[in-house]
Amino acid sequence: METALDAYRNEDGGYGHALEPGLRGPVSRPLHTAHALRVLDAVGGCGGQRVERMCRYLTSVSTPDGALPAAHPSLRGYPAAPFVPVVDDPPGELLVTGPVVGLLHRNEVWHAWLFRATDFCWQAAESLRSSHPYEVEAAVAFLDTAPDRPRAEAASDRLGRLVREQGLAVLDPDDLDACPVPPGHARSAHRFPHDYARNPHSLARAWFTDGEMARSLDFLAAEQGEDGGWPVRDRHWVPAATLEARPGVTLEALRTLRAYGRSFD
């Protein structure tokens, strides 16, 4: 797996070459590099000189507050999904920074960049008042492995109340209309309890009752197609990118079901 991932790595330590289907082109991008970190974490290879070089790349593209932008200006000139805006001075976003910082903390990776990036994630996660599901998922990815556990639990409790009050999770899969999809997202892009609590050890698991989680997992299992894969519920850009995204979505579904002890074909 690590050898296959090398095909997407650049000399600057970052990753490109459409590793993230929504962004094309050879140059390194924060989203591609975040995806590479997820792969390394899954195979137990998130450490050593490879990750040290990745951290140096992340430092070079981070904003003054230590955060990562969703789209770096180097994206300009290459095909990209229309919902990924390219600007000259992009802001740092919890959407990208939270999962990266969470993975590095989980693997006990320490780098100078992590101090500022961790501070950014704390500030962003604790200040969310009105959010969208993807941002909450990113906050959970950070909080699940943040080093200050009491602080993480307090922030998670508040986020759980926000998710329920703002209807950001489908609690009854038979009544999708009760949880409208945020503006600008695909009609099928609902978020369910299993999207926030991808394993039973996640802080987000406490947000939902046993019955709500069981219904969510039942729905996830039932989404498996006849070809064995799971559908892409997020926004579609072009057919090729959607096709490339399916394996990742399928692996995530299988990992979630396995984490909860569910059997699957």
Write out pLDDT tens, residues 173-222: 999 888 887 776 767 778 999 999 999 999 999 999 999 999 999 999 99
User: What's the CA gap between 178 and 77, in Å, rounded?
Assistant: 41
Is 146 within a domain? no
Provide the pLDDT for residue 197: 98
Does one domain contain both 7 and 95? yes
What the block records as the tokens of 136 is 């909450």
Domain boundary among 127, 156, 183: 127
What residue numbers bound the domain in which 85 lies? 1-127
**CA distances from residue 65 to 16, 56, 109, 215 in whole angstroms, order as listed:** 24, 16, 20, 40
76: which DSSP letter? T
Does one domain contain both 122 and 180? no
Is 237 within a domain? yes
φ/ψ of 15, rounded to 5, equals: -125, 145
Tell me what percent of the residues of the chain surpass a pLDDT of 70: 96
The predicted-structure confidence for 86-128, as pLDDT tens digits, reads as follows: 777 888 999 999 999 999 999 999 899 999 999 999 999 999 9
Q: Is residue 265 very low, low, confident or very high in pLDDT (cuts 50, 70, 90)?
A: low
Residue 15 β-bridge partners? 9
Judge residue 132's burial from the number of C-beta atoms within 10 Å of its C-beta, 0-12 exposed, 13-18 middle, 19 or more buried: middle
Mean pLDDT across 23-48: 88
Candidate from 79-83, 96-100, 193-197, 225-229 with smallest mean pLDDT: 79-83
More confident residue, 193 or 129: 193
Is 149 within a domain? no
Domain boundary among 77, 111, 127: 127
Q: What is the pTM of this model?
A: 0.92
Q: Residue 51, SS3?
A: helix
User: What's the CA gap between 122 and 142, in Å, rounded?
Assistant: 9
Is 247 within a domain? yes
Does one domain contain both 173 and 105? no
Is 216 within a domain? yes
Candidate from 41-55, 77-91, 137-151 with smallest mean pLDDT: 77-91
Q: Which amino acid is at 134?
A: Y
Q: What's the structural domain count of the chain?
A: 2
Cβ–Cβ under 8 Å, residues 94 and 121? yes
